[in-house]
Amino acid sequence: MAKNLGTLRNSTVKGMPRVYSVVQECTASNFGEISVFVANPAVASNNELLSGARILLTGASKGIGEQMAYHYARFGGELVITARNKTLLKQVEEKCLQLGAKKVYSVSADMSDPKSADRVVKFALEKLGSLGYLVLNHIGNDPFEMWNGDAEQTRWLMQVNFLSYVQLTAAALPTLLKTNGSIIVISSLCGKIAVPYVASYSASKFALEGFFNSLRYELTMQKKNVSITLCILGLIDTESAMEKIRARGLTKLSPYPASETALNIIRGGTVRSQEIYCPWWTEVIVRTRDWFTAVKNKLIASSTPVT
């Protein structure tokens, strides 16, 4: 039997429709301080929320994407997974089938190529017939260091981390409109708050925030029932993230488990939350980011650059 998405409790909030709270360590916020997951009561059965769901998942060969693929498989989803590394993708595909996925197909693609998005979505529609979920998780590698003036690297990263997300959305949106589907966008705390050493990465994540929040408003104005969930992540214990942290000697930072992060992303997307934060303290940082600005600026100015 598939692992439950969480404890769903029927509840009522003044001025809002019936909602289902999800008991979890991370938070999902749709209405300021009220942390809730809005769900359709007709689809609130824990074990059936994702059974047979048709999902296109990017960046699925390792890290959070790999863990999401395994969770979706346990829930009985039908998957198309994509990433650059064909060998690793095949390994994930085989494990997903072992875990209970009804269908799994993999297609290798490099999202720095603007033509890849259309090709991947076309492949997914040929294999699955339609899509209920577009999960945008892939990311380009960017060194954890001060920006060195390499505008071409920034342009490349914007293509991988931002423009390809837009291109995939454009290609998948017609079918998502027909299925009243969902778009799940993996973003970062660096897309909410600017910090040193990640200028290009931060720019790409800020762009995701602006584009997908605006698109959500536009879909709402048009009475289109496609949800967009932005996932604001802090430090997660993926191999690539931990390598960068260790290289800078930042060994005292405590990462959040990738598998738990993946499960919380799926929970939030399934019940059509507008935002989720993981770990929970990332929301605290975002809510208080404009406090003590002068102190923050002074601390940064007095810091010794890490080389």
Contact indicator for 203, 158 with CB cutoff of 8 Å: yes
Per the residue annotation, which of 20, 133, 165, 201 is the catalytic one? 201
With CA atoms as reference, report the closest residue to 77 among 5, 23, 138.
5
The verdict on whether 201 is a catalytic residue reads yes
Residues that are catalytic:
201
